[in-house]
Amino acid sequence: TVDVVALGESMVTFLPTRPGRLADVPSFDRSIGGAESNVACMLAAAGHSARWVSRVGDDGFGDHLVETIGAYGVDVTAVRRDPARPTGVYFRTAGDRATDAHEVAYYRAGSAASAMSPATVDLPAARAGRVLHLSGITAALSADCLGLLRELTAPRPGRPLISFDVNHRSRLWRDGEGAAVLLELARAADVVFVGEDEAEEAWGVTGGPEAVRALLPEPGLLVVKEGARGATLFGANRAPKEGARGAMLFGANRAPSPGTFVPALTVDVVATTGAGDAFAAGFLSATLRGLPQRRRLRHGHLWAAAALTVPGDLATPPARDHADRLAALDGT
């Protein structure tokens, strides 16, 4: 079995060669982005088996995505080519150092990936992992994509553990449209990642991680990310479910209610894009390895630090032995 299958749209990404407004930047460097494939690439780079399921255009950018993601060691054999729709691309500007304000220009409407549906992706390949990692971005792409997420998160015997990163991207939703959908999908998942800021933006939740947990009591593991401060993990305060999924969810040390806070690392931020994906990948890696819950958060922070300190969306994860030593520093 594959450890983690990640399903979602990836894009060729254009990073600015200098600071400034989109209107002024004269040239861009090609890179790749895509929240879910970022997770798959980092996990594969760290020695886990990972598969990316998606659709790309039958074009050069599609070739580039498949080749680059494949080169991380991710299984890309279930990625389908769409002869009629292009691969999505996006451009962004460098963030303002003080505020991280940056511009993003997506060219993804009508992309090959936006045509993902239960009929156009390889469903058995998507369901074959121990963990299926999904994100709220996919739900925003089209009605077909939302239908696919509903199909994949529906209860069914032998369903993989569903990991869901809310990834609220307001520019992909019409005003207020995403709130109910993102809540529905998060409630159907086993492991949920959400930023405090996203929870406020999408659902109007203020009042900290506990208020987010009150809105989302269902997931066995809920991670509320508090930006540069840190993250709080809520584990279910109930008996583990049967079998491997239960063991992975609750691990040896069950998180005490009401939540375990672990501070983030202090780093010189180059670009925040991709940090959430790196956090999810680090957390999932530690979860797959059965590490105690505080260490899962520490691995999340260590992997996020790697992404925060590079300009691209995707970073190389820290070496496992090194990260393990750092994650164990306070002895918990």
Residue 5 or 236 with smaller CB distance to ligand KDG: 5
Largest CA distance in the chain: 57
Residue 69 or 162 with smaller CB distance to ligand KDG: 69
Interface residues for ligand KDG in 91-120 (CB under 6 A)?
A: none
Total binding residues toward ligand KDG, as defined by CB under 6 A: 11
Residue 255 or 284 with smaller CB distance to ligand KDG: 284
Pattern 201-230, ligand KDG, x by CB under 6 A:
------------------------------
CB atoms within 10 A of CB 319: 10
Cβ contact 13:92 at 8 Å: yes
**Minimum Å distance from CB 323 to ligand KDG?**
21
Among 2, 25, 35, 280, binds ligand KDG (CB under 6 A): 35
**Minimum Å distance from CB 257 to ligand KDG?**
29
> Which residues fall within 8 angstroms of residue 250, CB to CB, at 6 or more apart?
220, 235, 236, 240
Sign for the CA dihedral angle at 163, 242, 210, 287 comes to negative
**Minimum Å distance from CB 65 to ligand KDG?**
12
CB atoms within 10 A of CB 158: 7
Residue with smallest beta-carbon separation from ligand KDG: 33
**Minimum Å distance from CB 134 to ligand KDG?**
12
In the annotation, is 277 catalytic? Answer: yes
Interface residues for ligand KDG in 250-279 (CB under 6 A)?
A: 273-274, 276-277
**Minimum Å distance from CB 316 to ligand KDG?**
16
The residue among 198, 200, 248 whose CA lies nearest residue 220 is 248
Phi-psi label, residue 73: left if phi above 0, alpha if psi -120 to 50, beta otherwise: left
34 binding ligand KDG? (CB under 6 A) = yes
What is the spatial distance between Cα 28 and Cα 34, in angstroms, rounded to a whole number? Answer: 18
Stretch that binds ligand KDG, among 33-41, 153-161, 196-204, 244-252 (CB under 6 A): 33-41
Pattern 156-195, ligand KDG, x by CB under 6 A:
-------------x--------------------------
Among 56, 76, 112, 137, binds ligand KDG (CB under 6 A): 137
What is the spatial distance between Cα 324 and Cα 301, in angstroms, rounded to a whole number? Answer: 12
**Taking CA 12 as the corner, what is the angle to CA 70 and CA 193, rounded to the nearest 5 degrees?**
75
What is the spatial distance between Cα 192 and Cα 197, in angstroms, rounded to a whole number? Answer: 15
In the chain, the amino acid numbered 229 is: R
**Minimum Å distance from CB 277 to ligand KDG?**
5
The residue annotated as part of the active site, out of 3, 75, 82, 277, is 277
Residue 38 or 93 with smaller CB distance to ligand KDG: 38
Residue 35 or 291 with smaller CB distance to ligand KDG: 35
What is the spatial distance between Cα 194 and Cα 266, in angstroms, rounded to a whole number? Answer: 20
What is the spatial distance between Cα 141 and Cα 190, in angstroms, rounded to a whole number? Answer: 23
**Minimum Å distance from CB 169 to ligand KDG?**
5
The residue among 36, 32, 20, 83 whose CA lies nearest residue 277 is 36
What is the spatial distance between Cα 231 and Cα 196, in angstroms, rounded to a whole number? Answer: 9
Residue 276 or 300 with smaller CB distance to ligand KDG: 276
Chain residues that interact with ligand KDG, rule: CB under 6 A: 33-35, 38, 137, 169, 273-274, 276-277, 313
Positions marked active-site: 277
